[in-house]
Amino acid sequence: MINNIFEDLGAGKIVLEEDIKEENWEEIWKENFKPIEIPPFIILPEWEIYEGKDLIPIRLKIAMAFGTGLHPSTQIMLSLIPKYVSQGDKVIDVGCGTGILSIAAAKFGAEVDAIDIEREAVEECKINAWENGVSINCWQGSIEDISKTYDVVLSNLQMEIFDKYFKDLKDKFKKYWLISGIFKDEKEKIIKMCQNNDLDIIEVQSKPEIGKPDDLWHGFVIKHK
């Protein structure tokens, strides 16, 4: 059952019809989640301690928000952050979920805002920031509420959100825009949107679903021309 839940979360929504009792979620999480290495990070459940020295630990307390590190779209973003986020950068994580990407950026010295429309996600982001000893400004809101520009924008979102808000988000970054959550042929839509908005794609990463080599998820690094 837990594998179905995480797979569905990859699309940013739960399509499982069976109700899951809240009081059992933590036990399901504990029984199924193991540390995940996504160099330079290792994703750990909150109760585990990383004793190594080669990786940067991110410890998560999970309730129901998206962002465990299991999904290819999250892994793509985690692999891109160390290359494009620098000390002192101002970063916003749009649709932060658990805050996993915000925490990763903060661990590279960024000043991070994290926004989500779901109150529960914002609370989880705050808890996970505290668990990792980083400072993140987590707040509830939508893309229309973003009034500032940032050095780097992180957005691991569904394609329909980019369909609606691409032009809004393209004006929010100065250096780089990291995009993920793009599935299969949706890649061509992002390429076309960039062409139509004078944006350059400087890196593309693709990663399949586990056991489904043809189900590719795509991530992009974008900059202004």
Which whole number is the average pLDDT over 119-147? Answer: 95
- pLDDT confidence of residue 30: 63
Q: Which of 161, 89, 90, 156 is nearest to 121 (CA)?
A: 156
Angle at 114 between CA 8 and CA 158, to 5 degrees: 30
Cβ proximity of 6 and 70 under 8 Å:
yes
Per-residue confidence band for 20, with pLDDT thresholds at 50, 70 and 90: very low
- pLDDT confidence of residue 4: 41
Q: Residue 13 pLDDT more than 80?
A: no
The token pair that represents 212 in the structure block = 């489904």
- pLDDT confidence of residue 10: 41
Q: Residue 21 pLDDT more than 70?
A: no
Q: Which of 81, 73, 65, 91 is nearest to 162 (CA)?
A: 73
- pLDDT confidence of residue 28: 61
- pLDDT confidence of residue 5: 38
Residue 69, Cβ neighbours under 10 Å: how many? 23
Cβ proximity of 113 and 186 under 8 Å:
no
Cβ proximity of 136 and 111 under 8 Å:
no
Q: What pLDDT digit, counting tens, does each position of 136-195 carry?
A: 999 999 999 999 999 999 999 999 999 999 999 999 999 999 999 999 999 999 999 999
Q: Residue 46 pLDDT more than 50?
A: yes
Cβ proximity of 116 and 146 under 8 Å:
no
Per-residue confidence band for 25, with pLDDT thresholds at 50, 70 and 90: low
- pLDDT confidence of residue 211: 85
What is the percent of the chain where pLDDT is above 70?
82
- pLDDT confidence of residue 7: 42
What is the residue extent of each domain of the chain? Answer: 67-224
CATH number of 67-224: 3.40.50.150
Q: What pLDDT digit, counting tens, does each position of 53-101 carry?
A: 899 999 988 655 455 567 899 999 999 999 999 999 999 999 999 999 9
The token pair that represents 53 in the structure block = 């020295």
Instruction: Please give the Cα distance from 65 to 10 (Å, whole number).
Output: 11
